[in-house]
Amino acid sequence: MPFNTALTRKLGIRVPVVQGGMQWVGYAELASAVSNAGGLGLLTALTQPTPEDLRKEIRRCKTMTSNPFGVNLTLLPALVPPDYAAYARVILEEGIRIVETAGNSPGPVIKQLKAANPPCVILHKCTTIRHAMSAVKLGVDFLSIDGFECAGHVGESDITNFILLSRARQSLGVPFIASGGFADGQGLAAALSLGAEGINMGTRFMCTVEAPIHENIKKAIVEAEETDTELVLRRWRNTTRLFANKVTKDAVKIERESTTGKFEEIAPYVSGKRGRQVFENGDKDFGVWTAGQVIGLIHDIPTCSVLVKRIEKEAAETLSKTASLLVDEVPAGDIVGKSIKDPSANPTSEHGAVGKGVNNPEAQVWGIGKSKL
């Protein structure tokens, strides 16, 4: 059954699931597969070396889906920044009207995209409520709230989605989607319950048949647990969550032990070029690559169609199961197979009686300053 949320209404999509921009992953194969599956696929602009290459990729994607898709434009701090205005111009010239923006100082690009006729729908991704509020002033249509669980740039405040999403609901006044840590329909249902209009997923979509990366990397994700990510570059306030491997371990060691604190010392370890090669050669230890804690929830490599259908079904089942939790009468209560109202049930704690005047050593453990352990 299609979902009716602010996101699906605005974009004309069936399932409120967005495939977030992913450097060296967000090509036409993946974006079109997600859009064909009923979600929103996004090309990642900066995977294309020039704006003209992006134009070709957009045209290629159009031949692969007739459903809406968008483009991610990430504004990274760089000594020589890409020509963002030129990328944005190509996006507009090619008729794309859905853009995910992320990164620093998005103001000029958002202004350019909003000045188009018709204006772009902007989903701006950020990791703090403060940044989200600034983006609201810039006129974005949706915030994509990226919790600390997420892959890639986690920000510096380390707030996970349980808090961040409710803060967004309480304070933004603009619709938002939840990003970071989502892989299934239960997650989508939870996000909707917290007030989001949909979810954004990165790592989960990396691990699909259509993601144009080496099979070994997908298998590495399936085998990994939620503890297998590492935060790198914290010292330079550019904290990034990566798949934990030999290179991240070396990088973190340098980060901790360097006496100079010079970025040059760590730069070769966090090279984007080597990270890109990982996706081509399938050697998970060849360089650093991005992944979120959600790797612990990923156990297979489905097609995008199977994945999105599964998420749709799980979310529908979860939402109706949750609705059925509300009943007309207070339940009778049941302890050791008997109604709590039955005096013969006589419930006792497995730790023995607890109460005033009872010599209960465990009670002392919890009494402040009285621990005997």
Ligand X SMILES: Cc1cc2nc3c(=O)[nH]c(=O)nc-3n(C[C@H](O)[C@H](O)[C@H](O)COP(=O)(O)O)c2cc1C
Residue 232 φ/ψ, nearest 5 degrees: -125, 155
Residue 74 in contact with ligand X, rule: CB under 6 A:
yes
The residue among 81, 94, 22 whose CA lies nearest residue 53 is 94
**Residue 139, token pair as written in the block:** 């006129």
Residue 17 in contact with ligand X, rule: CB under 6 A:
no
Site for ligand X (CB under 6 A): which residue of 7, 11, 15, 25?
25
Residue 44 in contact with ligand X, rule: CB under 6 A:
yes
Q: In what order do the strands lie in the sheet with 176-179?
A: 17-19, 199-201, 176-179, 142-146, 121-126, 98-103, 69-75, 41-44
Site for ligand X (CB under 6 A): which residue of 38, 70, 152, 187?
152
**Of 76 and 363, which has the nearer Cβ to ligand X?**
76
Residue 240 in contact with ligand X, rule: CB under 6 A:
no
Site for ligand X (CB under 6 A): which residue of 203, 208, 240, 245?
203
Closest contact distance (angstroms) between CB of 213 and ligand X is 8
Question: x/- site string to ligand X, residues 314 to 353, per CB under 6 A?
Answer: ----------------------------------------
Closest contact distance (angstroms) between CB of 355 and ligand X is 46
Question: x/- site string to ligand X, residues 86 to 125, per CB under 6 A?
Answer: ----------------x----------------------x
Residue 208 in contact with ligand X, rule: CB under 6 A:
no
**Residue 143, token pair as written in the block:** 């915030």
Residue 82 in contact with ligand X, rule: CB under 6 A:
no
Closest contact distance (angstroms) between CB of 26 and ligand X is 7
Q: Which long-range contacts (CB under 8 A, 24 or more apart) does 231-236 make?
A: 231/154, 232/270, 232/288, 233/266, 233/270, 234/156, 235/261, 236/263
Helical spans, DSSP H, in 194-271: 203-206, 215-223, 246-257, 263-266
Closest contact distance (angstroms) between CB of 72 and ligand X is 5
Residue 292 in contact with ligand X, rule: CB under 6 A:
yes
- What SS3 state is found at 332? coil
**Of 290 and 318, which has the nearer Cβ to ligand X?**
290
- CA dihedral 323→9→131→117, nearest 10 degrees, is 180
Burial of 4 (0-12, 13-18, 19+ CB in 10 A): exposed
Residue 291 in contact with ligand X, rule: CB under 6 A:
yes
The residue type found at 199 is I
Q: Would you give the distance in Å from CA 289 to the centre of its chain?
A: 15
Residue 41 in contact with ligand X, rule: CB under 6 A:
no
The residue among 114, 112, 121 whose CA lies nearest residue 142 is 121
Residues that bind ligand X (CB under 6 A): 20-23, 25, 44, 72, 74, 102, 125, 146, 149-152, 179-182, 200-204, 206, 290-292, 294
